């Protein structure tokens, strides 16, 4: 059975040649993020992934979590692995030094995070949420709240959770019922939250819950939601832990995958009410929570990249070792490894190409986030933030769709053995399946892209990106007709979306998933070509990488970019039909 190895050479290449690591290192405060330092960080992260996290992936899946008397026990080895994780300072990478962080770029943290998720997706979910909660608190929390909670959360000695969903309120958060009654300077929280990842666990002494709730006089709908910090244990003035708050884990879910990650049903305020602390102003909670949600959407997209990489590695190793069938030339009666068969070559090339494409997309957007945060030119920073906002739903949806697709193909490469748990291929598919649902389903991401990110501003940011891609193509060393055709298709579909959404939102929404996929193909194809051209310039230094990049970019052009014009036709000519179809005809 194959062992996970972080693809450090390819990760470094993407950071340097596609995401522009040198430009990121030139930003104020990021000067230490040199290629040598980044290489050292990824090497150490890779060791933790290979030696500590990956060996727990299958055993954790088999054992799962248990709930006894309100206490959740994670699988054997997970608690010790988490201690090694925080002792290594991995949780604090992208945060400012003044709150205990290392001040490294989000781009570098993104690379390390891919390793955690690929090695052990169930484990990686805990720091994913803690990091998002820490960013939320550092952005919107009062100085008093930051002083109490932030350093421990940045260090990972306390973890964070996101409490949005209720039994009657999934994606429709305007329907939440959890109450927040004012009690002097604090609030008393009561209600039920479901699907709370790492809402209870045994990694740390304290868990800091970010909870959406309503005050008694709040307006209806999303405009009446407030956000509260609700700790598992209250914190004394000296920073020590005090009394247990009035909250508990009622049960943990039995799931298709990520079985080593406890998904909790949380009950707040069964007695006097859980003490909560208001973040920012009342009735602006959903606005604040979007800081954590967008952080999580990029991170969940990275989960898709990671699970695709892990599934590809396992499938390729199996294909090299599994003898089956004769060579097509018939010159030998001996069985050959299945990697020699054309259809297996096709599957592996498809898996690797799609993984490379979404890695490039995720890393490029992470770099834009660094530019938005640190660039001294306000116009440059604003443009980068526009690209982050535009492409966050694309990273989330395209990458997680690829994760499922690649993991599914990985099972197929294994044949009958892929359907057997012992090979590990099935676990990747089961684990990957949650990611297109997390943090707003991929359909919701598509509607967000089409409506809020494109139609609302008349396509300004989308067309700015299209213009930049066209300028980049013009400066490339050779003609790329299929890429140009894909960009033409994206431009056409963008114009249709801008025109259609205001007058026929139902028709536009019916085409939103196709539009998101089209944007992912066009932007991903552009980044693939950029990477391919850079790899050819460095072929003497990285001969195998250059050869693989050339092969994967050719595959992308011939098998994925060619879909773009058809997608544009589907969006512009077929979406209204979907919206007009009667329910009885479904």
Q: Which two tokens stand for residue 175?
A: 């329907």
Beta carbons within 8 Å of 118's beta carbon, 6+ residues apart: 4, 6, 49, 306, 307, 309, 310
The sign of the torsion formed by the CA atoms of 579, 583, 584, 586 equals positive
Report whether 576 contacts 505 (CB < 8 A).
no
Gap between the terminal Cα atoms of the chain: 45
SS3 36: helix
Beta carbons within 8 Å of 391's beta carbon, 6+ residues apart: 361, 365, 368, 519, 523
* Nearest Cα to Cα of residue 308 among 222, 385, 399: 399
Q: Is 439 a catalytic residue?
A: yes
What is the spatial distance between Cα 399 and Cα 520, in angstroms, rounded to a whole number? 9
What is the spatial distance between Cα 14 and Cα 21, in angstroms, rounded to a whole number? 9
φ, ψ of residue 326 to 5 degrees: the values are: -90, 160
Report whether 374 contacts 96 (CB < 8 A).
no
Distances (CA, A) of 77 to 62, 67, 123, 162: 13, 17, 11, 25
342-374 vs 543-559: helix axis angle to the nearest 10?
100
Beta carbons within 8 Å of 139's beta carbon, 6+ residues apart: 288, 291
What is the spatial distance between Cα 91 and Cα 99, in angstroms, rounded to a whole number? 12
Bridge partners (DSSP) of residue 158 are 206
Assign 3-state DSSP to the chain and report helix, strand, coil percentages, each to 5: 60, 10, 25
Distances (CA, A) of 424 to 123, 343, 470: 16, 22, 43
Q: Which two tokens stand for residue 187?
A: 């609030």
Bridge partners (DSSP) of residue 179 are 190, 214
SS (H, E, C) 165-232: CECCECCCHHHCCCEEEEECCEEEEEEEEEEEECCCCCCCCEEEEEEEEECCCCCCHHHHCEEEEEEC
Which position among 309, 356, 439, 491 bears the catalytic label?
439
Residue in the block written with tokens 């490339």: 476
Half-sphere exposure of 246 (CA within 13 A, CB side): 14
Distances (CA, A) of 367 to 24, 44, 198, 383, 464: 7, 21, 28, 13, 18
What is the spatial distance between Cα 428 and Cα 405, in angstroms, rounded to a whole number? 11
Report whether 189 contacts 177 (CB < 8 A).
no
What 385-389 contacts at long range (C-beta under 8 Å, 24+ apart), as own/partner pairs, is 386/461, 386/464, 387/461, 387/465, 389/453, 389/461
What is the spatial distance between Cα 307 and Cα 347, in angstroms, rounded to a whole number? 16
Beta strands in 462-513 (DSSP E): none
Catalytic residues: 439
């Amino acid at each position: 059975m194959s062992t996970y190895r972080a693809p450090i050479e390819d990760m470094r290449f993407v950071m340097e040649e596609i995401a522009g690591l040198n430009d990121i290192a030139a930003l104020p405060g990021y000067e230490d993020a040199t290629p040598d330092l980044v290489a050292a960080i990824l090497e150490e992260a890779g060791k933790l992934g290979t030696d500590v996290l990956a060996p727990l992936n299958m055993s954790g899946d088999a054992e799962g979590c248990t709930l006894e008397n309100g206490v959740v026990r994670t699988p054997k080895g997970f608690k010790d692995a988490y201690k090694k994780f925080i002792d290594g300072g991995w949780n604090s990478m992208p945060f400012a030094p003044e709150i205990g962080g290392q001040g490294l770029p989000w781009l570098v943290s993104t690379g390390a995070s891919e390793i955690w998720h690929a090695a052990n997706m169930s484990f990686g979910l805990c720091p994913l949420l803690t990091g998002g909660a820490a960013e939320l608190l550092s952005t919107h929390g009062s100085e008093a709240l930051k002083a109490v909670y932030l350093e421990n959360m940045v260090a990972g000695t306390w973890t964070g959770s996101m409490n949005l969903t209720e039994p009657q309120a999934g994606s429709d958060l305007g329907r939440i019922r959890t109450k927040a009654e004012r009690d002097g300077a604090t609030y008393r929280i009561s209600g039920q939250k479901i699907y709370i990842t790492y809402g209870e666990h045994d990694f740390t002494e304290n868990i800091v819950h970010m909870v959406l709730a309503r005050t008694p006089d709040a307006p209806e709908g999303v405009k009446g939601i407030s956000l509260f910090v609700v700790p598992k244990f209250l914190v004394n003035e000296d920073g020590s832990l005090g009394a247990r708050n009035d909250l508990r884990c009622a049960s943990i879910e039995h799931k298709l995958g990520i079985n080593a990650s406890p998904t909790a049903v949380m009950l707040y305020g069964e007695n006097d009410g859980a003490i909560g602390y208001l973040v920012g102003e009342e009735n602006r909670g959903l606005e604040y929570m979007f800081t954590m949600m967008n952080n999580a959407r990029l991170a969940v997209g990275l989960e898709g990249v990671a699970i695709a990489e892990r599934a590809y590695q396992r499938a390729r190793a199996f294909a090299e070792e599994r003898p089956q069938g004769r060579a097509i030339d018939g010159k030998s009666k001996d069985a050959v490894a299945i990697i020699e068969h054309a259809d297996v070559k096709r599957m592996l090339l498809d898996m690797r190409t799609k993984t490379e494409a979404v890695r490039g997309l995720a890393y490029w957007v992470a770099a834009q986030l660094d530019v938005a945060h640190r660039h001294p030119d306000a116009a440059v920073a604003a443009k980068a933030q526009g690209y982050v906002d535009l492409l966050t739903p694309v990273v989330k949806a395209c990458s997680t769709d690829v994760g499922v697709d690649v993991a599914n193909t990985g099972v197929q490469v294994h044949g009958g053995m892929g359907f057997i748990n012992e090979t590990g291929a099935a676990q990747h598919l089961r684990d990957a399946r949650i990611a297109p649902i997390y943090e707003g389903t991929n359909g919701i991401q598509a509607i967000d892209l089409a409506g809020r990110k494109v139609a609302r501003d008349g396509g300004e940011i989308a067309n700015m990106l299209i213009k930049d891609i066209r300028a980049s193509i013009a400066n490339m060393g050779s003609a790329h007709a299929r890429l140009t055709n894909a960009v033409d298709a994206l431009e056409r579909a963008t114009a249709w979306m801008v025109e259609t959404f205001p007058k026929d939102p139902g028709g536009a929404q019916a085409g939103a998933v196709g539009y998101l996929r089209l944007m992912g193909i066009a932007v991903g194809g552009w980044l693939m070509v950029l990477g391919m051209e850079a790899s050819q310039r460095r072929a003497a230094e990285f001969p195998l990488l250059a050869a693989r990049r050339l092969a994967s970019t050719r595959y992308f052009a011939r098998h994925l970019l060619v879909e773009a014009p058809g997608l544009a036709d589907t969006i512009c000519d077929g979406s209204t039909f979907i919206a007009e179809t009667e329910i009885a005809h479904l």
